[in-house]
Structure 1
Amino acid sequence: MAGRALFSLLKSIRNIEMPVIKPVHGYLYHQHKMLTGIISSLCRILYWTPLFKSRLANTPRKLYLYSGMPLLLGPLSITMGDDCRLSGHTTISGRASAQTKPELKIGNNVGISWQNEIFVGNRIEIGNNVRLAVKVRLVGYPGHPVDPAARARGEPDTDDQIGSIIIEDDVWLAAGVTVMSGVTIGAGTIVATGSVVTRDLPPGVLAGGIPARVIKSLDLPSESNNG
């Protein structure tokens, strides 16, 4: 009985709530957002962005790096264009067993949203004006061999399992898209949410599904009309 009473008391204490005084707590909320925003901006400008740029092969202009710094794993050569936006909740990994340093090339005006995973087997190229929505995965290498005995011994993947990924200009990969190794996605193509791209896609189409297939052609404006 005493134990049960004590448990009930602790549970009631755990569930105690502070009454909400909207004018007061509303004001405190806005002050909190302003203060954390200032601190976040200072960290981005003075700390995270310079640290991340120190890992790049070049020095891009107007890089907007938000929510911290991406997790960088393994050997990597990264080149990034100007005017890019990159979430700190991104993982970029280079194949550790590669004979040459894996290369990631990112074009100008690229947006890479949060929880993206970019696994570079030998080379991944992302063109200009590309948009990678949330939880996009570019899988240039699998990390484990096909042979179960080799997997059990902890051996790495084999060279025939890896491949380049080429994403041409103006591509939009929607949320949760996975692109496998050896794939090229043509310019202006949109890949629908949750799709898995296992083979090349032509330019200027809407594709989707598992595996992704062309759904329809897109009526894209020509360069002459844009000029």
Structure 2
Amino acid sequence: MSSMFLHQTKLWLKHSESPLAKNVFSFLKRIRLFQLPKIPALFSALYRLHLLISGLFGSVLRIFWWTPLFRSKTQGPSKNLYLYGGMPLLGEGLVIQLANQCRISGATTFSGRASSQQAAQLIVGNNVDIGWQTTIAVGRLVSLGNNVRIAGRCFIAGYPGHPLDAKQRAAGLPDTEEQVGDVILEDDVWLATGVSVMAGVTIGKGTVVAAGSVVTKSLPAGVLAAGVPAKVIKAIEEN
């Protein structure tokens, strides 16, 4: 009843030709748009205070809440883990093997293929970065070697989640074994922003995949690849 009254009042204030309605609407609008006079020194101090408080609060949550929760769902030592921005979304049926000195954004998703009889396995090596809004969907196995860098909004697709046949999709049936494949990123691989890696792909040691690329076939070691689908552009010279 009260919500209907508020709605009717808003409509009256916005559309009524009554001087009272117009004056009240104008007054409320001025209140909504009210702001303090700009005082640069004060505003700068408030902003620094905000950064200090939010940073301290974020650090406390990271150390005493998000990181212990995430480590409780992993195997392996996971020493010196830096988990920033919250807790990744974790699907059931996934085993995560996490090594040391990794940095993982809390705005990430790790899922395992629910229809498989065997738990999907995600292996993360030492000194690995997994960036903001990245999704790793593990069919059977996704392996990230040491020193791998995965930038924001990447997608590793070890399984599609749905069958190709339209009638099977409509019936809610899962994807088939033929659609599932392992994904291997060897040591020192770098996926730039927005890269997608499809099932059954291996990317060789030290290879860099340019932003926005879609990797549908395996890539050799030590190359720069780009495009949709990704192709080798050139070899990367070692220093």
TM-score band, normalised by shorter chain: over 0.9
Task: Give the Cα separation in 1 of the matches to 2:238 and 2:116.
Answer: 39
The answer for the alignment partner of 2:222 in structure 1 is 204
What is the CA-CA distance between 1:125 and the residue it aligns to? 0.2
The answer for the alignment partner of 1:136 in structure 2 is 154
What is the CA-CA distance between 1:99 and the residue it aligns to? 1.4
- 1:102 is the counterpart of 2:120: yes
Task: Give the Cα separation in 2 of the matches to 1:63 and 1:214.
Answer: 33
Task: Give the Cα separation in 1 of the matches to 2:136 and 2:26.
Answer: 49
What does the per-residue CA deviation read over 1:33-89, in whole Å, with 9 as the maximum and x for residues that have no partner? Answer: 111111111111111111111101223111111111111012111001111101101
5+ long unaligned stretches in structure 2: 1-16
The answer for the alignment partner of 2:211 in structure 1 is 193
- 1:164 is the counterpart of 2:182: yes
Task: Give the Cα separation in 2 of the matches to 1:197 and 1:12.
Answer: 54
TM-score (normalised: structure 1): 0.93
Of all paired residues, the percent bearing the same amino acid is 52
The answer for the alignment partner of 1:224 in structure 2 is none
Task: Give the Cα separation in 2 of the matches to 1:9 and 1:134.
Answer: 45
Larger-Rg structure: 2
Secondary structure in structure 1 of the residue aligned to 2:75: coil
The answer for the alignment partner of 1:179 in structure 2 is 197
Residue of structure 2 aligned with 1:80, choices 98, 104, 108 = 98
Residue of structure 2 aligned with 1:147, choices 165, 175, 183 = 165
- 1:38 is the counterpart of 2:56: yes
What does the per-residue CA deviation read over 1:94-150, in whole Å, with 9 as the maximum and x for residues that have no partner? Answer: 110011000000000001111110000000000000000110100001111101011
Aligned residues, how many?
Answer: 221
Letter in 2 for 1:94: G
**Structural RMSD (CA):** 1.3
Residue of structure 2 aligned with 1:16, choices 27, 34, 37 = 34
What is the CA-CA distance between 1:6 and the residue it aligns to? 4.9
TM-score (normalised: structure 2): 0.89
Task: Give the Cα separation in 1 of the matches to 2:58 and 2:38.
Answer: 27
What is the CA-CA distance between 1:7 and the residue it aligns to? 4.5
What does the per-residue CA deviation read over 1:171-198, in whole Å, with 9 as the maximum and x for residues that have no partner? Answer: 1100000000000000000000000000
Secondary structure in structure 2 of the residue aligned to 1:211: coil
Secondary structure in structure 2 of the residue aligned to 1:219: coil
Task: Give the Cα separation in 2 of the matches to 1:4 and 1:183.
Answer: 65
Task: Give the Cα separation in 2 of the matches to 1:5 and 1:34.
Answer: 42
Task: Give the Cα separation in 2 of the matches to 1:118 and 1:81.
Answer: 17
Letter in 2 for 1:189: T
The answer for the alignment partner of 2:11 in structure 1 is none
Task: Give the Cα separation in 2 of the matches to 1:22 and 1:156.
Answer: 58
What is the CA-CA distance between 1:13 and the residue it aligns to? 3.4
Task: Give the Cα separation in 1 of the matches to 2:227 and 2:202.
Answer: 17
What is the CA-CA distance between 1:153 and the residue it aligns to? 1.2
Task: Give the Cα separation in 1 of the matches to 2:104 and 2:154.
Answer: 13
- 1:47 is the counterpart of 2:62: no
What is the CA-CA distance between 1:17 and the residue it aligns to? 2.7
